Every structure is written in C-alpha cells, then in structure tokens.
Chains A and B, each alone.
Chain A
Amino acid sequence: MYPLTDPLTQQTLTGVFRLVLPEIVLIGTACLVFLLGSLYNRRWLWFLGSLLGVVVAAVVAGVVKTGMPPAMTVAPIIPDATAGFVRWLAIISAAVFLFVTWPEVNRTNAAEYYGCLLVTVAGVSLVGRANDLITLFLALELISIPTYILLYLPSQTRPSQEAAAKYFLLSILSSAVLLFGFSYLYGVTGTTNLTAIIEGLTKANAERLSPMSLLAVVMVIAAVGFRVAAVPFHFYAPDVYEGSPAGVVAQLAFLPKVAGFVALARILGLLTTDPRHLPFDASTQVPLLLWILAVVTMSVGNILALLQDNIRRMLAYSSVAHAGYMLIGLVVASSLPDAKGRPGVGGVDALLVYLVAYGAMTVGAFAVILFLSTPDRPVESVDDLAGLGQSHPITAGSMAVFMLSLIGMPLTAGFAGKFLLFVGAFSAPADTLTMRHLYQTLAVIAAVNAAIGAYYYLRVIGVMYLRSPIRPAASSRAIPTWLAAVALAGFTLFFGFYPNPLEKAARKAVPVAAGSRTAENR
C-alpha cells in the first residue's frame, strides 16, 4: 500500500499545523513586521507589535489543546512534554529579549531587528518539537540565519563586521557537518523520521553495532557542539561575543544553547518514552565521548576565562564552561539503560533546570552590560564596572546576583541547577564496563571547575564594590533593559530560594524521570 493512503498517516500529516500554531503566529508576526517595516519605521510601534505577537503566541500555546499524532513514525512534529517546556521557555525568553535589546534598536532597523528575533524564537520552539531530520534542520537554520542578520544589523563597525563574518562562515561549516551526519542517518535507516530512526537504531545496535550510525551521530554531536559552544567548536565564541552588539550576544549565548541541547537529547533518544533502551548506550562509546567533551569544554572554558580582562570575552568563555556543565546532564541521561535502580535525579531534567537558570543569569549579565554601555562610554573591560556599587546600586546588585548565580552560590538559581546536575552525576550507576567510576570523577572535575570559575566571577563583584572608578559609568535611560535585568535578578533569587516549582516543571517535561522519582520518594 502506498504510505500516503494510510488514513492514520493522512490524519497525522494534516494535523501538523495545529501542533505549531504559536510558532506560526510568531513567524506570521515577523513577516508582517518585515513587510510593514518598509512603510513605517517606529521603534515603539514594532516593539509593541512584536510584544503583541508574543502575547498572542503565548495565549494560543495556552489555549490550544493538542494530542499525540496517531502515527508517530511519520509525524514531523512531536508535541510531547519536553516540547511544551521548550516552547514556554522560548516564548518567555522572546518577551525578555524584546525588553533587553531596547537600546540597541533604533528607528531605522527596528522592524528587521524584532522580526529576526521573533523568527529565531520560533526556531527554538520548533527545535523542541521537531520529530524529523528535515524539520529539525529547518528549525536550526531558522535560528542561525536571522542571527547572521542580527549580528550585522545594529552597528556596522569593523569589529562587528568581522564577528558577523566569522560566525557566518563557521556556522555554515557546522551546518554542513550536520547535514552530512543527517544524510548518513537517513542512509542507514531509510527514513528521516526521528521516532523511526531511534526505534530502528535501538533494535539494530542491540544486535550488532552499526559503525555508520556511529559516524553519523558523532558528526551530529560535532555540529551541535558548535551551537552550544563546546570545545573544540567554541573558537568563534570569544571573538563574536567581543565584537557583536551586546543584545544580540545575549541571544546568541542562550537560544542556540537551548536548541542545541534539546536537539541532541532528541537525536540521542533521551526524550523518548522508553529511555531504558537507547540507540547509543554505553557499549557504543557515545556516553564516553560526551563525557570527554564535557570535561574538556568546562576545563578549557574556565581556564581561559581566568585570563580575560574583557568582560564580554570572559562571559564568552564562561558560556563555554557552562555548556560543559550542561553536557553532564546528557552524560547522565545516556547512562540510564545501565541503571539497575532508579537514579534520584535524571540527567535531562537537571539539564532543563540548568538551561533556565543559565538563561536568566547570562542574559541578565549581558542586559546589565547593555544598559551601562553608551557610545561615548562603552563597557568593555571588567574595570569599566568599577564603582558601580555606589553609582548604580540596584544595577550593581543585580549584576552581583548574576555573578553569584554563575558561581553557583546557594540561594541562587545557578546553585539549584548545578546541584541537580552534580547530584545526578554522583548518583549515576557506576556498574558499566566502559564508564566505571567516571561519573563520580565527572562530578569531582565539575566541582573543581566551579571553584576555578568563582575566581573570575568574584573579580567582577570585587571591582564593582571595592574599586572607585576613573570615569563613573554613564547614567543610561534604557529603562526596559534595566527592568529586564532587575526582573531576571529577582527570578534568579526566587528560584534560588524556592527551586521546587522549576524542578517540578522540568521533571514533568521528562517522562521517565518523573516516574522514577514518584516511585522512590513519595
């Protein structure tokens, strides 16, 4: 029978649009903004228009109820709990970014800027629910392509042009590698549907390991490694973070990371309903590869961040280091097939909590930098923040909260995230042949790294409160950015004091982890 005549397949394919309505709203708004932007260019207008689009998307996401498509092996979109989590994360971050980027937008580029931002966010949300290699690739490119424009758009200075060109070239390279990997996956399994690929590979690899599938997944890891800034695919990060507009960097530091980690978890089969059987379990050495990637990434990120005087380069390496911490989640999650008992903290839920916390603190730090930067007094080096404690007490307080959270101090969201990741690694099973005590070692290495990290974050706090400025920081009028920074600081503190709701949401977003915890404790 020709597959398309199967009624379930038809039902699945026609029902797809209902599953991506909020994304359609976002991209539709973006198209409207692009089109009308050539007629009227007012910052306020497009700010409000985009905000309206985001709100409508949120309402649609909240109102429209969706069920699982009847035939998963042909469905290009999977509306599962993880997808829901990522969608809400994307929509909320869209609203935050609209506020954060306020001073960077001017009347000539407002429409393009906000349009690109909406498309990027829609891309992130789509990555969360892509169940097909083609949808996934499309969603990832929906993030990359607007980013090229955004990097170039706000300031056409030489450093920013250089940064944009570097990012463009290297991103294209990584996309090529990704496509290469995808083509192998297609070649091995004969389908582009992820559910079918994972099911097929799980069965096939359990009998006899297919080296081709392994090559494919290594290429995918390498390509996604570029998006999450994992070593050695991180090289663009410091140069791009330094040269590009701060608001765009804030997006670049957060959105591709969310997309990258979710995509990787999806492809590695960590988000399926049966994560006890993975296509790439410990016998395929993929967890070991991820382990090495995590260790190298966090160590190189932290060590190089130590040497930076430029605060943006410092934050770039810090984002590399945090990518390393987050990789722990994937390592732990891919150990589940070997677990005899049920681990207290799963890998992916810890990763999701960490992504949220990381987003709040990193975007917040960039928001503070953006707020304080004016054309005649830019904030470049760490020393430019000197005396901020006196001149801008609330801004400095927010920055201190972000830095403490990046260190992982208790009572900040960063601590909750690190705690879950480390506990996950510490309680992961150590009885497989390849991994042995590597999980505990990983937790220890991560803790040592966190200690190294404390040095350069604390330096920022020290400079802000203990040094007096040569030239005091400018008094900025970018109120929306300031509001966003303070709100993010409040968010960081709130989920530091009371991380339970966030934890619960993340646990719900990962089917198996929820089951294991309820079985054990409550």
Chain B
Amino acid sequence: MYDPLGLAFTILGLLLGATVLTALLSGTVVLKRAAHWPLIIACGTSAVLAILLLLQVWKAGTVPRFVSDPITWFAAGKLTASVSLVVDPLSSIMLAMITFIATWIAIFSSGYMREGHRIDRGYVRYFAVMGLFVFSMCGLVLANNFLLLMGFWEGVGLCSYLLIGYYYDKPSAAAAARKAFLVTRLGDIGFLLGIFLLWKVGGWNTDLTALFDHIQKSPPDPTTLTTACLLLFCGAVGKSAQFPLYVWLPDAMEGPTPVSALIHAATMVTAGVYLIARCAPLFALVPDAQLVVAWIGGITAALAAFIAVAQTDLKRVLAYSTVSQLGYMFIALGTMGAVSPLFAVTAAMFHLFTHAFFKALLFLASGSVMHAMGNVIDMRRFGGLRRVMPVTHLTFLCGALALAGVPVLSGFWSKDMILEALQFGSAGAHANAGSFYALLLIALATAGLTAFYTFRAYFLTFWGETRVPEEAGHHAHESPSSMVFPLLVLAVGAIGVGVVAGPATHWFGDFLARTPSLRQAATIVGVAEPAPHFNWGIAGVSTLLALGGVGLAGLAYGNGGPERVPVAIEPVFTLSRNKLYVDEVYSALLVRPIEWLGAMARVFDQFLDALARLISAVPGFLGGLIRPIQNGLVQFYALAMALGLAVFLSFVVFLISR
C-alpha cells in the first residue's frame, strides 16, 4: 500500500470510481442530492494519499523515480503504446497540488451548485464530469508514455468542453465550449505531430523515460529536434492559453465559476506548463525552441495584462490575469538553456504552484460574489460589498495581494524567482542574453500592470457605497459555510505556501531539483545551478512596482463607485476594453477569409458530393445486376458451385500449363 506506484494507481482508481459511482447516482432524487459526496470523498482521500506519496518520494534514495512496469496497451509494427506511470518529484508535486485544490473546489461546488435546498438541474452530471476531469489531469501528470499522456490530455479537453458548456441551453455557453475545444484541438494537432516526429527520431520509443535517454545518447539533427519541440509546444500553447491561442480561456467563463477555478488553478491550463517541464531534457537541447517559448510567454504576459486593465467583468479580469501569469511561467521555462534547467523549471513550477492557490481562491471568491449577486458579475453593477460579504472580501484581498506580488505573500516569492531567472539569463554570456534582457523589462512592466488591474477589480467590487443589483433580491448575504470554509483554507495557502515552501526552507526547489529528468536536462545544458540566495535588487524593484500598482489603483478607484477614466488615457482604456481588437483582427484576418474559403469549398463540395453520389450508386447498380442470380433454386445453386469449381480448375490448369 505504501509503495509509491500502488498509491498512484489507487489515486487514479479512486477518482475514476467516484466518477462512475456519481454517474450511477442519477437514478432517484434522494441519491441526486448526495451526488457531491463521492467526488469530495475521493478527492479528499486522494489528496491525503498524494501527500503520503510525496513523502515516499521525498524519502526515496538518490534517484527518486518509480516507473511502473509497462502494460502494452496496443502494439502494431514498431508502434507500441504502453500504460506506464512515473512517480518522481515533478509528478508527485503536481498530483498533490491537483488533488488538494480539487478537494476544496469540490466542497465549494456542493454549495455553489444549489440555491437554498434546490439543487441545480445538472447536479449529478456536474460532479461526474468534474471527477473525470480531475482523474484525467492526474493521469496526465502520471503518464510515462506519450500516447497515454495524449489520451489523458484529450480527456482533459473533453471534460473542459462538457463543463464550459454546462449550461448548454445558453447559446453563449455552447459557443464558448465549442471555441475552447476547437482552439485547443488546433494546438493538439501540433502535439500529435510532435509525438510522432519524436517517435521517429527517438528510436521508435513512446515511453518518455526511454525516449529521453535515447535522444540524449544519440541526438538527432538540431532542426528536426527543434521542429519536434516546437510542435510539442503548439500543444502547450493551446492547452495553456498562450498567444495566439489564448482566446478560448476568457470565454470559458461561461461555465460555472468553480469550473473556472478548476480550469485556471489545478487541472487544465497547467497541463501545458507541465508538459514543457516534463520534456525539459528535449528542450534543453534546442536553444531556438527555448527562445520561442520565452518570447511567446513574454508576449502573452504583457498582452493579457494590458487587456485585463479595462475589463468590466470580474471573472474576465481574473481570466486574463491567468493568461498573463501562465505567460510568466513560459518565460521561466524559456530561460532553460541560459540558466540551469533546475532553476528555470523550479521557478516556473513554483509559480504554477503558488498561482494554483491564489487563483483558485480568487475565482472561488468571485464565485461567492456572483452567487450572492444573483449571477451578476459585471463590476459596474455592484460595489462596496465589503460590508455585505466580509469573509469573501478578506479572502479575496489575500488572493489579490498574492497575485499583485506584494511581499511576503506567496505570489511575491515565485514571481521574484522568475525575474531572477531572467536576470541570470540576461547577465550571462548566452547567445540570447539580449532577448532575456528585453523580456526582463517586459516582465517587470507586466508586474506593475498586474498589481494595478487586480486592485482595480478589488476596489470596484468591495469599496465605496454598497450597491447591489436587483437580481440579488433584498437579502444579499454572505455565502453558506460550505463555500466560505474552502475560501479560508485557500486564503491561508495563498498567504503562507510561498514563504513556507520557498525562501524559508527551500523545500520546493530542493525537492523538485531531485527529479531525474530535470537532472538529465541540467547535465545536457551544463550551466551550474545558482546558489539559493535572496536577490535584494529584484525584490526591491518588484515590490516597488507592486505597491505602485496597488497605490495607483487605490487613488483611482479607492472610493468605489462607477469607473471614471481621465480623458487623457481614455483611448488606452478603450483599446484595452476591446481586448486590443484581437478578436476582431482574428475575425478579419482568419475567420473572414476562412469563411470565404468555406463558401468556395462548399461549392466544390457540392460538386464532389454529386460525384460521390454517382460513385456510391455504382455498388448498388452492380448489385442490381448480379442480384437475379440469387434466384432461390437449389439446382441452380449447385450448378453455380460446379461452374465455379470448373472455372477455378481451368484457371489453375491454364496458368501452370502456360
């Protein structure tokens, strides 16, 4: 039982079991009301088991990696897909984080998805799909085979489709679900191509560990490997909502808010970051691919932060902030060749880890607001909620401070680590040092913007005079305890997890650095890992920027009330509010021409259809011709058999006597 792999399989089994059990509960009303229990229990138990697993890995010897014996899933020719799990520091940290956060989101959902004593119509469906979602994500981080990973990856995509489109009778939700699915699929095409390219150059391996070893021993030519890595990165760009495929994530707000929390914090968008971290031994070999990763991350971070400034929908602000923070993580991953991969990946994963806590918190808190406001989330329509919802207010404040990067809170430490990685990258003699310097400036600017837009949202929602939309009725009140308690737990996490795991103990970095695949990447790059120390310069600048952003937001919006934008910067705000017209640009550059192409294709298609109908009529026509032979007369059948035999005999006799 205490065997790490046994624990991993138990966790997967528990989550899948909970999903199936929940689906079976849809029978009667009484059982329907209890549909949240299997998931909560399974997630809670898995979280405990995942932490046990983490301790097992911690105590393991010099090579803390456990790979399960591969079970061949299918094999054809040289292609073998096997079911094989890997437990190492990287996957065990992810696993613990996913299950822990998911537990609290599940508990929160049990309160959110009901109105008083009336449960939502799709209550059972919600928890069943959510179980599958968490299961897929856990499988994704544990998979040691590219095809298996791809399977879980698509499972995550499917579940996100089902959950974003949860209110499927609402057209915008259905459209958002479709958009999320299709846009991420676009990236997945690259991912699949990348897998097969790697399969080809990697000694026909699809098992990650074997593939990495093979490529390290006999590296293919750099162009091929760069292509393969960039194709893998395509998948990550789609799943982790990076430029230019980030457009699905803000629309994904159409799903229930706890789903957003799950997607943004624990399950979906982290998959791309995890994928690159997992494939570090590949990316370490190709500096060009690293640079692309870093620049895509930088562009995304700045762009999304700018768009977030003028959004009026609270959840959209948070969504763009997720896109921006994910951009940060990719910047860190992109520095992999310039600084030691151990440091770069640790920075990215650490930010992912702290981000999971405060972003889950922020989303759940905004869900709590939405729940109380009768599903209104437009910040122009409410304000001054700090007196109405004191706990939600304080927990949101914790999350906002962490996101803004205010010192001592968790976001501060992880963000600093990324900035530090950039500083190392730009200081060294690396070929791309100039790029990293530019990225450092972008990251700093983004940090300031982040603090500003976060606190703009905070002040608009919680300060000023109390205003409540009429949808909320006359009894806008604090949420029930099943929703408030998870908020408190996550708030403690958002405050403390950074300092405890980071600068105070260096637990996170030391543990993650023992991951064999990262060590492998470090050997490939050969840059020494910087000693852990506190970088006062970076910390000072980022603190100043964070406090400056918060202060500016406080000056502009501290009194609450409707937003007043000075005439001077009105155009900037308009630009931001309209999301830099990216949707429109996409529409003009991509959608319109494609629609036109579609129209042309349709004409062509009709022609082909006619042709196909003509062809498909042929078998029927032939059938009509030979059908009369089947005339039901047994003597004719016997004759036909005899004739057939005669034909065969004469055929053979003719051929051999030739």
Q: Would A285 and B644 be within 8 Å (CB), given that A304-B623, A307-B624 are in contact?
A: no
CB distance from B633 to the nearest CB of A (A): 9
Q: How many residues of A contact B (CB 8 A)?
A: 50
Of A174, A177, A306, A419, the most chain B CB neighbours within 10 A belong to: A306
Which of A174, A423, A521 is within 8 Å of B641, CB to CB?
A174
Q: Does B619 contact A (CB under 8 A)?
A: yes
Interface residues of B in 75-89 (CB under 8 A from A): 75-78, 80
Cα distance, A236 to B641, chains bound together (Å): 10
Q: How many residues of B contact A (CB 8 A)?
A: 36
CB distance from B608 to the nearest CB of A (A): 15
The answer to whether B641 touches A302 (Cβ under 8 A) is no
Q: Does A214 contact B (CB under 8 A)?
A: yes
Chain A residues with Cβ below 8 Å from B638 are 169-170, 173
Chain A residues with Cβ below 8 Å from B75 are 500, 503, 521
Q: Does B655 contact A (CB under 8 A)?
A: yes
The answer to whether A500 touches B73 (Cβ under 8 A) is yes
Cα distance, A211 to B638, chains bound together (Å): 26
The answer to whether B649 touches A302 (Cβ under 8 A) is no
The answer to whether A232 touches B623 (Cβ under 8 A) is no
Total A-B residue contacts, Cβ distance less than 8 Å: 106
The answer to whether B656 touches A211 (Cβ under 8 A) is yes
Which of A303, A498, A503 is within 8 Å of B622, CB to CB?
A303
Cα distance, A211 to B650, chains bound together (Å): 12
Q: Does A288 contact B (CB under 8 A)?
A: yes
Q: Would A307 and B73 be within 8 Å (CB), given that A218-B652, A222-B648, A232-B643 are in contact?
A: no
Interface residues of B in 606-658 (CB under 8 A from A): 616, 619-620, 622-624, 626-627, 629-630, 632, 634, 636-638, 640-645, 648-649, 651-653, 655-656
The answer to whether A236 touches B637 (Cβ under 8 A) is yes
Cα distance, A503 to B76, chains bound together (Å): 10
The answer to whether B649 touches A215 (Cβ under 8 A) is yes
Q: Mark B563-604, 1 if CB is under 8 A from A, else 0.
A: 000000000000000000000000000000000000000000
The answer to whether A166 touches B637 (Cβ under 8 A) is yes
The answer to whether A170 touches B634 (Cβ under 8 A) is yes
Cα distance, A233 to B638, chains bound together (Å): 9
Cα distance, A280 to B345, chains bound together (Å): 63
The answer to whether B630 touches A304 (Cβ under 8 A) is yes
Q: Is the interface of B mostly helix, strand, loop or mixed?
A: helix
Q: Does A427 contact B (CB under 8 A)?
A: yes
Chain A residues with Cβ below 8 Å from B76 are 344-345, 419-420, 423
Q: Does B74 contact A (CB under 8 A)?
A: yes
CB distance from B29 to the nearest CB of A (A): 21
Which of B74, B637, B643, B656 is within 8 Å of A499, CB to CB?
B74
Q: Mark A200-243, 1 if CB is under 8 A from B, else 0.
A: 00000000010100110011011001100001110110110000
Q: Is the interface of A mostly helix, strand, loop or mixed?
A: helix
The answer to whether B656 touches A214 (Cβ under 8 A) is yes
Interface residues of A in 494-513 (CB under 8 A from B): 498-500, 503
The answer to whether B648 touches A288 (Cβ under 8 A) is no
The answer to whether B656 touches A285 (Cβ under 8 A) is yes
Cα distance, A470 to B80, chains bound together (Å): 49
Which of B74, B623, B634 is within 8 Å of A500, CB to CB?
B74
Chain A residues with Cβ below 8 Å from B78 are 344, 521
Cα distance, A407 to B254, chains bound together (Å): 39
Chain A residues with Cβ below 8 Å from B620 are 303, 306-307
Q: Does B72 contact A (CB under 8 A)?
A: yes
CB distance from A45 to the nearest CB of B (A): 38
Chain B residues with Cβ below 8 Å from A419 are 76
Of B73, B642, B644, the most chain A CB neighbours within 10 A belong to: B644
The answer to whether A235 touches B72 (Cβ under 8 A) is no
The answer to whether B641 touches A226 (Cβ under 8 A) is yes
Chain B residues with Cβ below 8 Å from A500 are 72-75
Q: Would A235 and B640 be within 8 Å (CB), given that A169-B634, A304-B627 are in contact?
A: yes
Which of A219, A285, A427 is within 8 Å of B655, CB to CB?
A285
What 18 new A-B contacts, CB under 8 Å, besides A235-B630, A235-B641, A303-B620?
A174-B641, A214-B656, A218-B645, A222-B641, A235-B640, A285-B651, A289-B651, A289-B652, A292-B651, A300-B626, A304-B630, A306-B619, A307-B624, A344-B78, A427-B77, A455-B616, A498-B74, A521-B80
Q: List 20 A-B contacts (CB under 8 A).
A: A170-B637, A173-B642, A174-B641, A215-B649, A215-B653, A222-B644, A222-B648, A235-B636, A235-B640, A238-B630, A239-B630, A285-B655, A292-B651, A300-B626, A303-B620, A304-B626, A306-B619, A307-B624, A307-B627, A498-B73
